[in-house]
C-alpha cells in the first residue's frame, strides 16, 4: 500500500540555522509530491509541489525540496529558519488518479531564539 513516512515527530532548530525535514514515500509509480504547512489553529497551506522535471523545487517562504527517486525521498529544506516558521509540516503524495492524497503524520518544528 502507498504510504508516506516522516521519521521525525518533532525537530528543534535555532533561529538562523538551516533546516531539513525528511519524507519518504512508498509508491509504485512516479508520485506527485507535496509539502504543506499548518500553523497553530489553522488549516494546511501548500508550500511546494513536485510533479515532474527539475528535481529541486522552490516553494513559498524560502522553502525548497528535492525529489530523489533512488531514495524514495522528498526532503524539505530551508537555509535559514525564522521564528515564524514554527509550525507543523506535512509531506503528502497523490494517488488514485489524482484525487486522493496520502499525508504523513507530520513533523512539528520548534524554533528557539
Partner 1 sequence: NAGVTQTPKFRVLKTGQSMTLLCAQDMNHEYMYWYRQDPGMGLRLIHYSVGEGTTAKGEVPDGYNVSRLKKQNFLLGLESAAPSQTSVYFCASTSRGYEQYFGPGTRLTVT
The residues binding partner 1 (CB under 8 A) are: 9, 32, 34, 41-46, 49, 51, 90, 94, 97-101, 103-106
Task: Rank residues 17 and 29 by Cβ distance to partner 1 and give the closer one.
Answer: 29
Instruction: Give the C-alpha distances (Å, rounded to integers) separating 106 from 4, 51, 52, 54.
Output: 10, 21, 24, 25
CB of residue 95 vs partner 1: minimum separation in angstroms? 10
The least CB distance from residue 28 to partner 1, in Å, is 18
Q: 28 or 41, CB closer to partner 1?
A: 41
Q: Say how far apart CA 110 and CA 92 lie, in whole Å.
A: 21
Sorted by sequence, the CB contacts under 8 Å of residue 19 that are 6+ apart come out as 11, 13, 76, 77, 78, 81, 85, 109
Comparing CB distances to partner 1, the nearer of 4 and 81 is: 4
Amino acid at each position: 500500500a502507498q504510504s508516506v513516512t516522516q521519521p521525525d515527530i518533532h525537530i528543534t532548530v535555532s533561529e538562523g540555522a538551516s533546516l531539513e525535514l525528511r519524507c519518504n514515500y512508498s509508491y509504485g509509480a512516479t508520485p506527485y509530491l507535496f509539502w504543506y504547512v499548518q500553523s497553530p489553529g489553522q488549516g494546511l497551506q501548500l508550500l511546494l509541489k513536485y510533479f515532474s522535471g527539475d528535481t529541486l523545487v522552490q516553494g513559498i517562504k524560502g522553502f525548497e525540496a528535492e525529489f530523489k527517486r533512488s531514495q524514495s525521498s522528498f526532503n524539505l529544506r530551508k537555509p535559514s529558519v525564522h521564528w515564524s516558521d514554527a509550525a507543523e509540516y506535512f509531506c503528502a503524495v497523490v494517488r488514485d488518479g489524482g484525487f486522493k492524497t496520502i499525508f504523513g503524520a507530520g513533523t512539528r518544528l520548534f524554533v528557539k531564539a
